[in-house]
Structure 1
Amino acid sequence: MKILTAAQTRALDQATITEQGLTSAQLMERAAQALLFWFYGQYGYGRVPADTLLLCGPGNNGGDGLALARLLHEANYSVRVALLPASRYSPDWQHNRQRLPAAVPVAEISAGALPAISADTVVVDALFGTGLSRPLAGLAAAVVAHLNQAQARVLAVDIPSGLFAEASQPADSAVVRARHTVSFGLPKLAFLLPQNAEFVGEWQVEDIELSPGFIARTTTPWHYTDAATMAGQLPPRPRFSHKGTFGHALLLAGSRGKMGAAVLAAGACLRGGVGLLTAHIPACGYDIFQNSQPEAMCLSDAQPDHISELPNLKPYQAVAIGPGLGQHAASSSVLRQLLEAASQPREKTGPPLPLVLDADALNLLGQHRELLSLLPENAVLTPHPKEFERLTEPARDDYHRLELLRDFAQQHRCLVVLKGAYTCLATPGGELHFNSTGNPGMATGGSGDVLTGLLLALRADARLLPFEAVRLAVYAHGLAGDLAAHETGEAGLVAGDIVRHLGPALSRCSQRAQNTK
């Protein structure tokens, strides 16, 4: 699913109107109907809020609010409307103002007559949409401050008023703090960034049949990976497969006191469908690993507490390094040797050896940035924001971090998985893919090690292209966490639960989408 700019979204609306022979008012009616269905979903047909206030600005966002007010009134909701005065109103605003029944109370907002809002009021924020180009000021800012102070249940139409769709607004700007946001057709970039969570609340996208042709031909660096995107992305296994069909992977992981990371990564790799797995670990972890992961082969390092040797890489189709590795100088030397070896074409004709770098491997890269020049093409890096900062620089805000992420992936020709809510995958071609799966219960030790193991398994599978494998791993990892949380609850979730649910998650990604039209 694509994520468009505000300007592209306006062009999408116009293309829909032209292609489908609509008026702009008819498209607005679709949006209002979608909002009405949201109300039905929240309150049902017979149980309605005692007081619903619609705050309507002078543009088309306000027109959406006026159309919704009429539909809610017709559905027997108790509604009232407060209008933000302006010198000009959009034509569709005027159309819907004329259609509003006289029985709906309407008041014009002024500095001395702000609308009454209690904590029990349901407020529809239809003041300003994605066309906003400067911070709110004057009466509009006063209305937003009044609304936020009331702590009412707020539904934002398309985007919370005052929030920019794809850029940061100045500090201390007036922005509506919504509990829910309903957008139309496609999500907004602003919804996916931590700094905007307090404004957006829980968000969802409603289908209003916008032009699929326009969306298909419009280019954007931003994408949203959802269930429809991932349906059928895991190829079925051929009947005459054998363990060599799905690759032999090497895991370099573990140090004294951190063998759990190696065990979790190995378990995820095995559950991810790898044909063969060999783990190279320090001698102190040999018994632990052999007892916990009998399906894997194990190479013991000469050093008892950390990894100091790089095995022969010839047997392997992919290598991961980092979980529980530690930052010993000898392990740093192993990382350098691995990067130097992997950057060379295999057998002089094949692509570089696929690599996955996580945890302490990333910390070592941050300490020795000269190693970044050795990264082979399509290497996979999986930093959390602090680890990414060590590789680049501190970000001014979440939007700046996305710029740094995109530049880094392009400069080093690698795939970077920036972990967090809506984990973002950056590609060498400059695309950013935000993930839809996962939950706060996955913010637990070992969750990243599980992702590394799954990435290793899918990068060892020659049937998948690099980008396909990484996007699939990120999505399936989050989906496994969602399946696990359904059983354990978010607070009770541990990384081992994610490993146990990788099989069912990948199975869902092997199923083709059902065509319901």
Structure 2
Amino acid sequence: MKIFTAEQIRKGDLYTINNEPILSIQLMERAALACVNWISENCKNHRNFAVFCGNGNNGGDGFAIARMLYQKGFDVDVFINSKAKYSENANENLKELKELSGVLIKNFKDAESYRFDSRTIIIDALFGIGLSRNIEGDLKDLIDFLNQKKNIKISIDVPSGLFIDRIADENSTILKADYTLSFQLWKKGFLHPETGKYTGKVEILDINLSEEYISQTDTNDFVIDDEVVKNIFKPRNDFSHKGTFGKVTIVAGSYGKIGAAVLATQAALKTGAGLTFVHAPKCGYDILQTSCPEAMFIDGGNQKIENIELDENSVYGIGPGIGKDEKTQKALLKFLKEPSQPVVLDADALNVIAETKDGLQLIPKKSIITPHPKEFERLFGATKDSFERTDLAKKKSKELDIIIVLKDHHTQIITPEGNVFYNLTGNSGLAKGGSGDVLTGIITSFLAQKYTEEEAAILGVWFHGKAADFASIKHSKEAMLPTDVINEFGKVFEEINEKVEIKL
């Protein structure tokens, strides 16, 4: 799915209005109906809605939503600035709402004396994506007041005060929603930590914006949805053999950190690599042969990695738990000068490169690196926020001709062409040591199976997050472990195969 800027979304609305054709008030009605259908399905235990409407088209959505909710039997109170000048569509919907005797229309200041009981839901339709300045004055005070309420808050399209293409000033006022009902496409502001924290759970509602406009409009930002995964995934051919699915070598582990090697190796094995080798120190031999009997062991040293031998027929995943011992550093830097094909680099491999003069230039072209924000900073320097970090990652991906998997709540896969793919799977249960080792094994395995570098990174990150979502359901986010994530791989494969299966 594409991600558009606020300006592109505005043009998409106009294109739909002009080419469907449809009146703008009818498109607003369509958006409101989509919201009401969701609300009536998901808020059955709440009877009262307090709808706060601005004077623009977002407020127009709110007026239409209030009317439809009332017609469905809910109790609805609407709060407005009675002295405001409304947009044409908002004014038309407000007039229609006033004809309903059962809907009370109050002023914003009346909210202070309003009884917000436990069954009241607050609907935020104050400002939409067109907001271009920080909220001030009485509206700022109103949003601050609403943020103090413990009632469920649902924002329409975007939480009021949130910019979708950039970060607001540090002291800006933004409504903190529990749910955001947005239209047609994801917004960039929903996917970054500084801004996404205001959205709550995001629901993207289809309002039938022009498919022609969406397909013809260029963007470099995307979310990884089912369609993306279906287009990448390659079901197994019944006449294939182990050589069909490539050879993986996981270079991982050191004394006390053999668990990292186990996790990465198990992840490579269980994502379908044809042959898997684990290149680790001798101190981990018994553990690895016991926990990963399907993988072949390669001696990499005594208690640490002291040598890495190149097999041109294998795809290498390097870094989990290797440490930064001087001998390990020398072995890694020597190895990086040799491969003629991409490698996957994570964890201590990235830290060694960051501490080495011109270390970035040693990364083989088309390789995949998987830094978390702190590792990214060590490699490329500090940034003021995640938007700037993404911009820097795009620049470095192009300069070095590598794929950067920037790990975060919505992990980003950044390509040398300047494309950014935001992942939607995964949860906070992955915030545990070892999760990154699992991801390294997955991506290395997919790369060995002849997925392109971009495909391996996109599919690998999505797959990792999807398995984590299954694990969280079974074990909870708090209790789930990286091994639990690996144990859900089979369920993920079942789901993907079902999606791509050709049915008569």
| TM-score category of the 2 structures, normalised to the smaller one | over 0.9
Quote the Cα distance in structure 1 between the aligned partners of 2:242 and 2:203: 42
- After superposition, the C-alpha distances for 1:467-511 in whole angstroms (9 at most, x for unaligned) are 111111111111111122222222221111111222331343334
* Superposition pairs of residues 58-97 of structure 1, within 5 angstroms: 58-85=55-82, 87-97=84-94
Q: For 1:284-323, what aligned pairs fall within 5 Å after superposition?
A: 284-301=283-300, 303-316=301-314, 318-323=315-320
Q: Report whether the alignment pairs 1:474 with 2:461.
A: yes
State the alpha-carbon separation in 1 of the partners of residues 501 and 21 from structure 2: 29
8 Å contact 1:319–1:353 — kept in the other structure? no
Question: Quick one: distance in 2 between partners of 1:179 and 1:239?
Answer: 47
Q: In structure 1, how many angstroms separate the alpha carbons of the residues matched to 2:115 and 2:388? A: 36
**Which AA in structure 1 matches 2:78?**
V
1:8 aligned partner, one-letter code: Q
Contact 1:222 1:433 in 2 (8 A): yes
Deviation (angstroms), 1:11: 0.7
Q: Does 1:404 align with 2:392?
A: yes
1:333-355 Cα shifts (integer Å, max 9, x gaps): 1221222112xxxxxxxxx3120
User: What is the CA distance between 1:315 and its match in structure 2?
Assistant: 3.4
CA deviation vs aligned residue, 1:413-460 (integer Å, no higher than 9, x gap): 111111121111111111110111111112222111111001111111
Tell me the equivalent position of 1:118: 116
What's the counterpart of residue 37 of structure 2?
A: 37
Per-residue deviation, 1:232? 5.1
Deviation at 1:41, TM superposition (A): 2.0
Contact 1:281 1:299 in 2 (8 A): yes
Question: Residue 141 and residue 515 in structure 1: after superposition, are their counterparts in 2 closer, same or farther (change >3 A)?
Answer: farther
Q: Helix, strand or coil: the match of 1:445?
A: coil
> Which residue, 472, 479, 482 being the options, matches 1:495?
482
Say if 2:16 is the partner of 1:16.
yes
8 Å CA contact 1:274–1:458 kept in 2: the answer is yes
Aligned-residue offset at 1:116: 2.4
Residue equivalent to 2:322: 325
Change (3 A) 1:258 1:168: same
Give the CA deviation at 1:409: 1.3
Q: Distance in 2 between matches of 1:454 and 1:140?
A: 49
Q: State the partner residue of 2:3.
A: 3
For the 8 Å contact 1:231–1:511, the answer to whether it is kept is no
Q: Does 1:206 align with 2:205?
A: yes
1:83-125 Cα shifts (integer Å, max 9, x gaps) = 1356532111011011113311112335x87562636331111
The number of equivalent residue pairs is 500
The letter for the 1-side match of 2:418 is G
CA contact (8 A) 1:233 1:510 kept: no
In terms of mean alpha carbon deviation, does 134-143 or 259-268 score higher?
134-143
Unaligned runs of 5+ in 1: 343-351
**AA aligned opposite 1:32:** A
Letter in 2 for 1:453: G
Q: Partner of 2:338: helix, strand, or coil?
A: helix
How far apart, in 2, do the equivalents of 1:204 and 1:315 lie? 45
How many angstroms apart in 1 are the aligned matches of 2:227 and 2:406?
22
**TM-score, scaled to structure 1:** 0.93
In the alignment, the residues of structure 1 paired with residue 162 and residue 502 of structure 2 have an alpha-carbon distance, to the nearest angstrom, of 36
One-letter code aligned to 1:430: G
Kindly provide the amino acid, as one letter, of the partner of residue 312 in structure 1: L
C-alpha separation in 1, matches of 2:318 and 2:295: 16
**What is the match of residue 348 of structure 1?**
none
Which whole-Å CA distance do the structure 2 matches of 1:19 and 1:315 have between them? 54
Instruction: Tell me the distance in 1 between the aligned counterparts of 2:372 and 2:112.
Output: 44
Contact preservation (8 Å) 1:232, 1:511 = no
In structure 2, do the counterparts of structure 1 residues 505 and 313 end up closer, same or farther at CA, with 3 Å as the change threshold? same
Equivalent residue for 1:172?
171
- Measured on the aligned residues, the alpha-carbon RMSD in Å equals 1.8
Q: Kindly provide the amino acid, as one letter, of the partner of residue 202 in structure 1.
A: K
Flag the 1:285–1:172 CA change in 2: closer, same or farther, 3 A. Answer: same
- Ranges in structure 2 where 5+ consecutive residues have no aligned partner: none
Deviations 1:186-217 (A, max 9, x none): 11111111112442111111111111111111
Alpha carbons of structure 1 residues 370 and 217: separation in structure 2 relative to 1, 3 Å: same
Picking from 342, 366, 369, the partner of 1:381 is 369
Distance 1:512 1:151, change over 3 A: closer
Task: Give the aligned residue type for 1:175.
Answer: I
Alpha carbons 2:337, 2:362 under 8 Å: kept: yes
1:17 offset after TM fit, Å?
A: 1.4
**Which residue of structure 1 aligns with residue 193 of structure 2?**
194
Tell me the distance in 2 between the aligned counterparts of 1:407 and 1:510.
36
Contact 1:160–1:181 (Cα < 8 Å) also in 2: yes
Residues 1:446 and 2:473 are matched in the alignment: no
